[in-house]
Homo-oligomer: A and B are copies of this chain.
Amino acid sequence: MRTLKLVIQYDGTTYVGWQRQPNGVSIQALVENALAAIEGGRVVVDAASRTDAGVHALGQVASVRLAHPIDRLSLRRALNATLPPDVRVADVQEESPEFHARYAAREKTYRYRILAGEVPSPFERRYVWHVTTPLDVDRMALAIRDLVGRHDFSAFAAAGGAAQSPVRTITSASVAWEPTGQRPFGSGPSPVLAIEVAGDGFLRHMVRTIAGTLVEIGRGRLEPSAIASALSSGDRQAAGPTAPASGLVLVRVVY
């Protein structure tokens, strides 16, 4: 058996998320079915991140064990010929047998995008959270620094998560306006504010709750100290709401 590493991009808008679900189409099912057709038998694919319904990926990483000898470029071509156009395999690499996309991941980077301004661009609407109230980005930038380091992130996790430890290490966190040329077709009338967070792992809904809390801080409904207070209290009620899935993208995974 060979072990392969796949880098996968997807527009998550119409999917139930990475993981197979009974109620809709998952990215995992699409990729496993496309691989099974080549392998001629059942295939299990493990991903670095089990992204939620509606969340996107620029650099999701998955691992798979295959017996079939197809070369990596032909495999990429065959997968992309089978997958729908909003799911693309950007890269296929041979890996050592012990490689596992989830357990071997050292750092993941997520970006959460907020479209400010009155009118949301038709080209951005699937990939942002549209926030019409003014945001004080200096307050948000001050608050986000408190995320960096090793913390118990219980206050930023969805209820009903796994019984694993809620301690994670955030290695970097930033909030900044995207350059106006960074959107499709160049600048539109509404600027995009990007929150970027990297760390060794994330609890369920963690980045979206960070984004929701930062927006409350930017709107003036919470103080910049709210991030530190929520972290030390461990109380989900101390953090802000969970921001919509559409604004979130898994940017990259480092091994």
The distance in angstroms between the C-alpha atoms of A188 and B179, with both chains bound, is 16
Judging by beta carbons under 8 Å apart, are A119 and B88 in contact?
yes
CB-nearest residue of chain B relative to A249? B185
The distance in angstroms between the C-alpha atoms of A90 and B125, with both chains bound, is 14
The distance in angstroms between the C-alpha atoms of A87 and B121, with both chains bound, is 9
A40 partner residues in chain B, CB cutoff 8 A? none
Interface of A is mostly: mixed
Judging by beta carbons under 8 Å apart, are B119 and A90 in contact?
yes
0/1 string, A167-206, CB within 8 A of B gives 1? 0000000000001011111101100000000000000000
Instruction: Please provide the chain A residues from 146 to 185 with a CB less than 8 Å away from any CB of chain B in the complex.
Output: 179, 181-185
The distance in angstroms between the C-alpha atoms of A186 and B77, with both chains bound, is 24
Would you call A85 an interface residue if the criterion is a C-beta within 8 Å of the partner chain's C-beta atoms? yes
List 11 additional contacts besides A77-B118, A123-B184, A179-B181; criterion CB under 8 Å. A9-B119, A9-B121, A9-B123, A10-B122, A56-B123, A58-B188, A76-B119, A87-B122, A89-B119, A181-B182, A185-B249
Judging by beta carbons under 8 Å apart, are B85 and A125 in contact?
yes
CB-nearest residue of chain B relative to A57? B122
Q: How many chain A residues touch the partner (CB < 8 A)?
A: 37
CB-nearest residue of chain B relative to A87? B122
A213 to chain B, nearest CB (A): 22
A123 partner residues in chain B, CB cutoff 8 A? 9, 11, 56, 58, 127, 184
